[in-house]
Structure formats: structure tokens, C-alpha cells
Structure 1
Amino acid sequence: MKSKFRHVALFGKHHTTVTGPALESSRRVLDDVAQFVSRIGADVVLEEGTSEHLGLNLYPTLKMSEIGKQCDLGLVVGGDGTMLGIGRQVAPYGLPLIGINQGRLGFITDIPIEQYAQTLKPMLMGNFEEEQRSMLHAQVWRDKHCVFDAFALNDVVVNRGATSGMVELRIEVDGRFVATQRADGLIVATPTGSTAYSLSVGGPLMHPNLGGWVLAPIAPHTLSNRPIVLPDTSKISIEIVSGRDASANFDMQSLASLMIGDQITVEQSSHKVRFLHPQGWNYFDTLRKKMHWNEGGA
């Protein structure tokens, strides 16, 4: 029985911090996964940047846009950070992704590297659970001109400068004034991002099937400023009222040196990220495992 997927793209870590033994380990793992997928009967290609950084030249390579158009599955070998970057880029093409966890936490790369062969084989045969995750579309406006445009699968974060005091932010939702907050910053998180930075500042966990965003202040001056859950149909506007060297982060993408009067708008992206999970997967299993909840039960 051959793979349900004919053209499979492999993605791995290829940022410059992966060197030495870690680089060799990543190269070996990618090569093992590629050979495994080939044996099942799928054509394997490597994403161009992954191939260049790891020095794997035994397989055809494609650019990200070519993968989106030509492949019917992506295998991401790495941690959640790798998956965030890949997910944003392939979402416009509707390419489904499977995550093999070579990192630490692995909320969205949920196949342990030690178990990839026995877990991946039935998935490639068509036995899997599919879900779609919503994304944020954010823009930075200055003097009525858009100076930055980005998507985020986890969150959009506005931060104070590293050496300055609090930043003051004017917040509107759907054109209605909400509050002017003095804080170290503000997070707009998706349900996927509710287990990331938002969680560390007291934001709630959100099931990924929920249609909402978390709006969570970072160390607010007024302790009654609490996280709030908003509909994902909302358009959020954040204006920099005061504070030096404020910055904005969109998952792993950053824009430094925001200016007084800059506005960051955040709304739902028209694209979603498709994740495939092993048959029987559910979100609560992930939470129990990754957050070390009491696993006793019936």
C-alpha cells in the first residue's frame, strides 16, 4: 500500500544558530525521514533553504512558492518555532503540514522524533485527524501609510523599549474606544498562541476550534487591566501614545523603533494553516502532556 500523498516537501531548521553537532543531528534526521517517505512511495523534495543549510543534496529542491503549488504535503522537522515560520508561508496555498518534534515543547509539532516512523506511516496512508488554525493579519500604519505588513500564527506583541519605562497604548476594537493602557506591552494572541507568551502573562488557554483572540496586557500599571477574549471577527487598533523605542513582533518577525502616533491594526487573516495529526489525536492530550497536568483519569 502506497502513500496517499504523492509529492512531499521536507522542511527543517535552517537558521544560523544551528551549528556543530546540532547541525549534524538535523542533517541525519532529515535524511532518515526523506528515505522513509521515499520507501513508502512518495516523491520527496527539500525546501531550498533547508537543503542549503544542512548540506543535503541528494534530493530535488524547491522554493517555498514552488512547494505550495506542486506538493500535496509538508513535513516539518523541528520545533514550534520552525512550524510557525513554515505555517505562515504555506497557508495561502492550503498545503497541509505534519510536525515532527525535534525541539522542546512541541504544542504544534506533535510527533516525537523517536516515534516518527510508526506514527507517520499510517498518516501517509490517509489515517489522520485534520484541523485548521486561524491566523492574524497585522499592519503598522504611519502617517496614513502602511509601513509593515505581516501574518502571525501565534501572536502580535507590542513591547516597550529595552531601556525605557512603560509604553502608553490607545486601544480600539471595531472603531470603539476600549482603554488607554500604561504597561510593558500588549499581546494579541490566537488560540494557537494562547499557550505561548499570552499564557505567561495570565491569559487564558483557548481551544483551537474557538473563534476568538486574547487581548492581554504585559505588566499593566493598573492591575484591573486584565486579559479579555474578543471575537475573531474583531479589528483591533493599537496606537502608540507615548514611550521610547517601542517595538512590535509578529511571531518571529520584528519591527523596531515604532514612533509616537504609529497604529498597529490586527484582524483575521483570510488564510488558515492546515495541520494533520495522528488518528485519535485531541487537544487535551497535548495539554496534559506538555503542561504536565495530572494524568489520572478513568
Structure 2
Amino acid sequence: MKVGLIANPHKSGARKTLEGLAVALRAKGLTPIYEKATAGLAGVDGGIPGRELSKEADVVAVLGGDGTMLHAMATLGGCDKPIAGINLGNLGFLTSCTDGEVDDFAEALCSGNFATSRRTLLAARVERDGGRSHDLLALNEAVLARGQTGRLVALRAIVDGELLNHYRADGLIVATPTGSTAYSLSAGGPLISPSAGVFVITPICPHTLSQRSLVVDDDVTIELAPEEPSDGPMLFTVDGRDCVEVESGDRVLVRKADQDLHLLRLEGRSFYAALRQKLNWRGG
């Protein structure tokens, strides 16, 4: 088995954990292969680009945290292999284990004693007035928000061709179940089980309190668009990256992607256990 390695060089202890993981993998007869920048961090030769890594590896291990996992999604370019997160700190929502458990991780890979959780991805397209388009992929959320203006902006949301609402807000979030624990939650959205076949549309600081989050089926197409030219260009982002300006007359189309993310889970680790830990809920 080939295990692809991607590490966040800005995380404290990243190189030490990377070296320890490589030793643990080799001890179990597994072969580590390095993403190009990660090879530089480890001081080894032979690193390869992320998209090539996603094809060659049987499993990909991402060392960092939830943010590093989101960045790795873009680096890998839509990987269909199991992806495991190794958190350099406390257990996150997207990570499989901590940096102190690399031996357990290597043993799980060797024995096959793990499962995968299929996570829905968002396919977003920014369609320009004039026919140009820009395609993006997201795990957590797609966000259309105000740009440099300091005031609320006017947006509309359309679901499968039918008007949902006209909003006055700082912006709108379309989140996957995985992303329900991220920006959408901070904006007042609900927590959603990762296996639920839904999206959640959440306004950011709406002008009217009656404008609440809405959960919709994930087989719909959601259109977001600015409504007033005087609001200036808005900013569209996915997973906090790939910022694209959206002008009056442009529109953003968001739908379920054709591919999924296969998130690796070790035995005894679950979404609900992560909820209890991260949100300080009661439970063992």
C-alpha cells in the first residue's frame, strides 16, 4: 500500500510528526510517498505534485487540522482515494487521529481496521454576464458575501428555478452537511449529520430576523446573485479560498458534485464523538 503524505509546514511539530509517521508506515510494510512541498519539509527527494499523488497513492494522510484538510482538497484536485486527517493538536471534525497516534494509524491501515465516510462535495460555477464561467469545488461551503462595502447587500436565492427569497444581509452561505459545523454554524445554522442528503442555506447577519437557515434536498441547483449594482462587486469563496469577484449581472450556481470525498475513520471515532468533544457536550 502506498500512503500519500501532505503536511502543513506552518503547524508546530509538523516535521517531527511527518518523520514519525513515515517510520511507523515503513515498520508496517507500507510505502510513504510525498507531495512536493511536503518532501521539502521532510528533507527527502522524490516529491510529486498533489494531483499526481492522488492517482498514485492508495490512501492519503493530511497532517495539520481541518483547515489543512480543506487546502489539501484543492491540492489533490478531487481525490477518490480515502483521505485521513492527522491533527497536530486536538481532534477536529475532519481528522482521523492526533499526532500522538500515528502508530495506531499505521496499524489500522495495515490491518484494514478502518472505515470511510462518504462526504458530499459542492460544485460551484460563477457565470459571468457575457458567457464566461469559473468552476470551483468545495467540501464545506460556498459563500457569496459583500465586498469592500461596509453595509448590507442585496442578494437573491433561487432553488431549482423558483425564487426562494430576496435577502438584505452580509452574504449567503450554502453548506454541505460536513460544512454545517463550520461557517454556517457560526452564522446560526443547524448542525447536520454528515450522511444526510441535504444542503443548508444560511444568511450572514440578515437585516430581518425572520430570514433563517433553510435545509433543502441536495439534488437541487441553488442560484445566488447580487441584485443592486450600487452594492459593488461581491466576493464569492469556497472553503475560505479561491476568492472570485461577482458583479451585478453575474450569477453563482451551486449543486452537488459528481464525486464524493472518502474520509477515513478509525474504529471508535465518529462525528458524534467529535461533537461531544468540540462542543463540550456530556457523554463518554
Question: TM-score band, normalised by the shorter chain?
Answer: over 0.9
Q: 60-69 vs 209-218, which deviates more?
A: 60-69
1:80 offset after TM fit, Å?
0.5
Matches within 5 A, 1:252-291: 252-291=240-279
* Equivalent of 2:59 in 73, 92, 104: 73
Q: Alignment partner for residue 30 of structure 1, among 4, 9, 18?
A: 18
Equivalent residue, structure 1, for 2:47: 61
Give the stretch that moved more between structures: 25-34 or 204-213: 25-34
Structure 2 counterpart of 1:8, one-letter code: V
Partner AA of 2:267 in structure 1: Q
Give the partner amino acid of 1:185: G
Match of 1:109 among 95, 102, 108: 95
**Residue 32 (structure 1) shift:** 1.2
DSSP-derived class of the 1:61 partner: coil
Alignment partners' CA distance in 2, 1:192 and 1:91:
18
Give the whole-Å Cα distance in 2 for the aligned partners of 1:151 and 1:127: 30
AA in 1 matched with 2:8:
K
Aligned-partner residue type, residue 223 of structure 2: S
- 1:168 alignment partner, SS class: strand
Q: Distance in 2 between matches of 1:294 and 1:232?
A: 31
- 2:173 paired residue among 159, 168, 187: 187
Aligned ranges for residues 110-125 of structure 1 at < 5 Å?
Answer: 110-125=96-111
Residue 5 of structure 2 aligns with an amino acid whose one-letter code is L
Matched, 1:236 2:222: yes
Q: Could you tell me whether the CA contact under 8 Å between 1:139 and 1:146 is conserved in 2?
A: no
Alignment of 1:95-244 (within 5 A): 95-103=81-89, 106-242=92-228, 243-244=231-232
1:254 deviates by 3.0
State the one-letter code of the partner of 2:174.
V
What are structure 2's unaligned runs of at least 5 residues? none
- Indicate the SS of the match to 1:145: coil
Question: How much does 1:280 deviate?
Answer: 3.0
- What is the deviation of 1:144? 4.2
1:210 is matched by which residue type in structure 2? A
Secondary structure at the counterpart of residue 227 of structure 2: strand
Alpha-carbon RMSD: 1.8
Q: 1:139 touches 1:264 (CA, 8 Å); kept in 2?
A: yes
- SS of 2:188's equivalent in the other structure is coil
3-state secondary structure, aligned to 1:114: helix
Distance 1:136 1:127, change over 3 A: same
Q: CA deviation at 1:84?
A: 1.4
1:37 to partner: Cα distance: 0.6
How far residue 103 of structure 1 moved from its aligned partner, in angstroms, is 4.8
Alpha-carbon shift at residue 115 of structure 1 (Å): 2.4
Structure 2: distance between partners of 1:37 and 1:284: 28
Q: Secondary structure at the match of 2:112?
A: coil
Residues 10 and 58 (structure 1 numbering): CA distance in 2 closer, same or farther, change over 3 Å? same
Q: Secondary structure at the match of 1:177?
A: strand
Rounded Cα–Cα distance in structure 2 between residues aligned with 1:282 and 1:28:
27
Residue from 26, 36, 40 that aligns with 2:28 = 40
The answer to whether the Cα contact below 8 Å between 1:80 and 1:105 also exists between their aligned partners in 2 is no
Amino acid at match of 1:57: G
How many matched pairs? 282
CA-CA distance at 1:216 after TM superposition: 0.3
Do structure 1's residue 7 and structure 2's residue 7 form an aligned pair? no
CA distance in 2, matches of 1:111, 1:249: 28
